[in-house]
Amino acid sequence: MDRIHITGGTPLNGTIPISGAKNAALPLMIASLLTGETLELINVPRLADIAALTRILGNHGVDHMVVGKRPGQTAETGQTVRLTASNVIDTTAPYELVSTMRASFWVIAPLLARFGEAKVSLPGGCAIGTRPVDLLLMALEKLGAEIEIDGGYVVAKTKNGLRGTEIDFPKVTVGGTHVALMAAALAYGTTVLDNAAREPEVVDLAECLIKMGARIEGAGTSRIVVEGVARLGGTRHEVLPDRIETGTYAMAVAMTGGDVSLVNTRTDLLASALETLASTGTEVTALPDGIRVRRNGGGISPADVTTDPFPGFPTDLQAQFMALMTLAKGQSRIRETIFENRFMHVQELARLGARIRLDGDLAVVEGVERLKGAPVMATDLRASVSLVIGALAAEGETQINRVYHLDRGFEALEAKLARCGAQIERVRA
């Protein structure tokens, strides 16, 4: 099993190109099942989760072709893919494939909407709480699907097609909004989604669906209206920049000191996180094609955050921000309101010398003078990258085990950091 070795203490300086967003690319790829025509996606990151979904789509009969990379990207980053679902051979998504990645469960929506049936295994993925699929299934049932659970599979059918309806989500759900958008796009009549997720990735999916012929209004607000159409066609669409990768590298610069330009990204994708980062004493400046992050001298000021749905502070940056706060000059309080059991990185940060106390959904971080390198173990995607950030600032060498988590969500991480001066190396098993 691969490991990453990091010798900390080197400020980051240079330029880091931001990849396409995994959390946008996944639903976009799944949307290819809505049409028999070709969907071409630009700026798709090269990640383990993308490869896993490609296998799942291939199992259904979707043809996949890599045709190039985004201009300015290196050989290990970014790709343009063409997906064609003209010969779907199977509407069953088996356990051995779906269990590798939770978002793959979303194939249930386009399969049901286009073919009237789907049999999809209950999902796997990151071990950060239950992440129930109840809200997704509620949305499909509201649209007229008949659903039963049989042997660990969700079996969904519709006799006469899906029907437009009103869906009021009891809590904000990104997955539920993705599923409802895809299903409603081919439903008869009008569907209204209330308390819909406002995340940029939802907007990106809606914009792609509109290019495919869907009639959608209100994406990016809490009320989305979808007028169903009889069929969707192919299109060409560029995946939006990864706001979580952007925030991750911004926090790494803040923690190590230095001066880095993050290019191919946008400030509006993570305004709340950048505002919080600026409050810690880090200089954050908008560039024409990205963001400049600088912290040369001076301590890290403590800051309190509460994770919230967009446009609030992202839960996917909580672990990274906690790593930054371990070196703050004072106490910080971090409250996690989105997912349960998302503090698994705490005990590993403690191995580096962090002082963190947990109380339910609250983490109280007492800043320390320095961290020291140690062997640590990644437990999930975001936790693993928080350990990378901590290790970059720690004295001595840190060995991070189980780094396959990183490969699920961060494209060419070692190469991007090394180009900015980080002493980082992957040791392959």
pLDDT band at 1 (very low <50, low <70, confident <90, very high): confident
Q: Which residues are annotated as a binding site for phosphoenolpyruvate?
A: 22-23
* 301, 346: one domain: yes
pLDDT band at 387 (very low <50, low <70, confident <90, very high): very high
* 257, 191: one domain: no
Helix 381-393 vs helix 243-256: crossing angle, to nearest 10: 20
In this prediction, residue 101 carries a pLDDT of 86
* 335, 412: one domain: yes
pLDDT(36) > 70: yes
Domain of residue 117: give its range. 22-238
pLDDT(76) > 90: no
User: pTM for the complete prediction?
Assistant: 0.95
* 196, 308: one domain: no
The rounded distance, in Å, linking the Cα atoms of 149 and 414 is 42
* 69, 7: one domain: no
* 171, 260: one domain: no
Last residue of a domain, one of 238, 259, 294: 238
End-to-end Cα, the chain, rounded Å: 5
Q: Which residues are annotated as a binding site?
A: 22-23, 102, 131-135, 316, 338
pLDDT(118) > 90: yes
* 221, 260: one domain: no
- Catalytic residue ranges: 126
Read off the CATH number of the domain in which 217 is found. 3.65.10.10
Last residue of a domain, one of 222, 238, 254: 238
In this prediction, residue 296 carries a pLDDT of 81
Question: Are 133 and 154 spatial neighbours (Cβ–Cβ below 8 Å)?
Answer: yes
The rounded distance, in Å, linking the Cα atoms of 388 and 424 is 9
Distance from CA of residue 329 to its chain's centroid?
A: 30
Instruction: Please count the structural domains in the chain.
Output: 2
Q: In 3D, which of 228, 184, 214, 219 has the Cα closest to residue 198? A: 219
Quote the mean pLDDT of the chain. Answer: 94
User: Which parts of 186-297 fold into alpha helices (H)?
Assistant: 200-211, 243-256, 271-278
Q: What would the pLDDT profile of 137-158 be if each residue is shown by its tens digit?
A: 999 999 999 999 999 899 999 9
Q: Which residues are annotated as a binding site for UDP-N-acetyl-alpha-D-glucosamine?
A: 102, 131-135, 316, 338
In this prediction, residue 57 carries a pLDDT of 98
Last residue of a domain, one of 207, 238, 269: 238
* 323, 422: one domain: yes
Q: What would the pLDDT profile of 178-197 be if each residue is shown by its tens digit?
A: 999 999 999 999 999 999 99
* 414, 347: one domain: yes
* 273, 416: one domain: yes
The rounded distance, in Å, linking the Cα atoms of 13 and 421 is 7
Q: What would the pLDDT profile of 308-346 be if each residue is shown by its tens digit?
A: 999 999 999 999 999 999 999 999 999 999 988 789 999
pLDDT(68) > 90: no
* 13, 76: one domain: no
* 54, 107: one domain: yes
